[in-house]
């Protein structure tokens, strides 16, 4: 059969079953329209916040150390993987049971959702909430629910509770940090007094000797490096937690600082003048005995003075952090009750169902036609069989 003949045959079949296809499409379209009208409309309210600023990085380091389960555990809760960024930390905190619990109690969601247990209400809240971090670090909180006003309130509540949690934790961490710094400051003050006294006695005994300008620069550099090391150790002690990326970063910086300090104090096997980073050619260990002793005593005084200055600054910052009660998140877009529903899309549902029913009608049309063809062939075969039997019987009667 040629293609044109096949096409004509197909059109004939469709024309034959046209009323069936029309009825099927009409019934399906009306049914889908009724169902879409019965589906409860859902509204999506979205709030967006900016990523944490650079001024909040130290605070986040201390906050992460005070979160139960630390960042690693929170990352699993929120489905995060790979490198955990400050924005990921914010998202993970909002996924935590502590934040969700406050929201459930605040809006009485157990009654709203019709759940009997707090755990079920938490699961329902997870189902209607979507927290995402964009590649740029923006954090969005989208809540989809039948009550558009409640959806907006819940989205904004996530950010409000995050801010409250950050401030409470930062103030608690600030107090711990202040006490920690206070202790180190007292120890440094005692060490500075002892170093100054030792230097004074040495000067009285040996009648102050002069050091080379290069050695004085070495001592100043050592003092700066040691103060940086002490500061990093203080920050490490305040942040805690080996799973904290902030702590791991500090440890890496500490290794580099100690390596550089060791080269200045003891020299190295390579003997390169530029190895210390400042062009020093004489390590302290190679100085004459009296000059070496004087250099060490002077170094200790300079180191303790520099550390004392740095710790004093950190102590003031810790006191500010302890009483600080300013917002910790910057809101880019606040959630408001949406004007249009996000679901269901009635026109899309009706068009999809109509198209699907039309396609289904075409398939059924050719299936029914195929069944009729089989039925016709069976009928002709039955007629042929009967005629054949009658012919055989008539021949038998003739022979008799």
Residues 190-209 have pLDDT tens digits of 888 888 888 788 777 766 55
Predicted local distance difference test score (pLDDT) of residue 282: 46
Predicted local distance difference test score (pLDDT) of residue 304: 81
17-31, 182-196, 311-325: lowest mean pLDDT where? 311-325
Predicted local distance difference test score (pLDDT) of residue 104: 95
- pLDDT bin (cut points 50, 70, 90) of residue 151 is very high
Predicted local distance difference test score (pLDDT) of residue 2: 66
d(CA 145, CA 395): 85
Query: Taking 80 as the threshold, does the pLDDT of residue 32 lie above it?
Result: yes
Predicted local distance difference test score (pLDDT) of residue 397: 62
Residues 273-314 have pLDDT tens digits of 444 433 344 455 545 566 667 777 777 888 788 888 888 887
Torsion of CA 53, 55, 57, 58, to 10 degrees: -170
Between residues 186 and 221, the one the model is more confident about = 186
Contact 163, 328 (CB under 8 A): yes
Q: How far is CA 400 from its chain centroid?
A: 100
Give me the residues paired with residue 132 across strands: 140
Indicate the domain borders of the chain: 3-39+345-399, 43-169, 192-323
Between residues 247 and 367, the one the model is more confident about = 367
How much is the average pLDDT of 312-319?
Answer: 78
Q: Are strands 139-145 and 331-333 parallel, antiparallel or unpaired?
A: unpaired
Contact 163, 329 (CB under 8 A): yes
Q: What is the DSSP letter of 51?
A: P
How much is the average pLDDT of 212-238?
Answer: 72
Residues near 255 by beta carbon (within 8 Å), at least 6 away in sequence: none
Predicted TM-score (pTM) of the model is 0.56
Considering only the top CATH level, what class is 43-169? alpha beta
Take residue 5 and report the two structure tokens written for it: 């003949």
Query: Taking 70 as the threshold, does the pLDDT of residue 380 lie above it?
Result: no
The contacts found for 305-308 with CB under 8 angstroms, 24 or more apart, are: 305/192, 305/223, 306/223, 306/224, 306/226, 306/227, 307/188, 307/226, 307/227, 307/230, 307/231, 308/185, 308/188, 308/189, 308/192
Give one word for 142, left, alpha or beta, with left for phi > 0 and alpha for psi -120 to 50.
beta
Predicted local distance difference test score (pLDDT) of residue 301: 81
Give me the residues paired with residue 139 across strands: 49, 133
Q: What percent of the chain has pLDDT over 70?
A: 69
Q: Which helix (H) or strand (E) holds 49?
A: strand 43-49
Between residues 213 and 25, the one the model is more confident about = 25
Query: Taking 50 as the threshold, does the pLDDT of residue 271 lie above it?
Result: no
């Amino acid at each position: 059969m040629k293609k044109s003949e096949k096409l004509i045959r197909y059109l004939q079949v469709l024309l034959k079953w046209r009323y069936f296809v029309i009825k099927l499409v009409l019934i399906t379209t009306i049914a889908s329209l009724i169902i879409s009208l019965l589906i409860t409309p859902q509204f999506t309210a979205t709030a967006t916040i900016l990523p944490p600023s650079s001024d909040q990085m130290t605070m986040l380091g201390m906050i992460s150390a005070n979160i139960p389960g630390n960042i690693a555990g929170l990352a699993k809760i929120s489905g995060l993987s790979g490198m955990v960024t400050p924005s990921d930390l914010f998202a993970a905190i909002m996924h935590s049971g502590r934040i969700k619990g406050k929201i459930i109690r605040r809006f009485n969601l157990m009654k709203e959702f019709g759940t009997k247990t707090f755990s079920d209400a938490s699961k329902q809240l997870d189902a209607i909430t979507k927290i995402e971090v964009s590649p740029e670090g923006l954090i969005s909180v989208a809540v989809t629910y039948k009550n558009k006003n409640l959806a907006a309130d819940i989205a904004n509540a996530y950010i409000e509770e995050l801010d409250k949690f950050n401030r409470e934790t930062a103030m608690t961490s600030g107090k711990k940090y202040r006490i920690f710094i206070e202790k180190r400051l007292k120890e440094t003050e005692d060490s500075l007094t002892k170093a100054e006294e030792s230097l004074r006695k040495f000067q009285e005994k040996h009648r102050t000797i002069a050091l080379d300008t290069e050695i004085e620069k070495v001592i100043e550099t050592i003092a700066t490096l040691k103060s940086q090391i002490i500061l990093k150790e203080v920050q490490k002690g305040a942040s805690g937690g080996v799973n904290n990326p902030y702590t791991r970063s500090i440890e890496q910086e500490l290794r580099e600082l100690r390596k550089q300090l060791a080269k200045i104090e003891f020299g190295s096997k390579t003997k390169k003048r530029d190895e210390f980073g400042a062009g020093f050619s004489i390590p302290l260990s190679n100085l004459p005995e009296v000059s070496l002793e004087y250099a060490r005593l002077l170094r200790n005084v300079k180191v303790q003075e520099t550390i004392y200055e740095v710790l004093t600054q950190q102590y003031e910052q810790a006191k500010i952090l302890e009483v600080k009660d300013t917002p910790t998140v910057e809101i880019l877009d606040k959630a408001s009750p949406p004007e249009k529903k996000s679901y269901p899309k009635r026109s899309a549902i009706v068009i999809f169902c109509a198209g699907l029913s039309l396609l289904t009608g075409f398939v059924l049309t050719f299936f029914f036609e195929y069944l009729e063809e089989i039925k016709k062939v069976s009928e002709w075969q039955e007629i042929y069989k009967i005629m054949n039997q009658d012919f055989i019987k008539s021949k038998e009667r003739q022979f008799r």
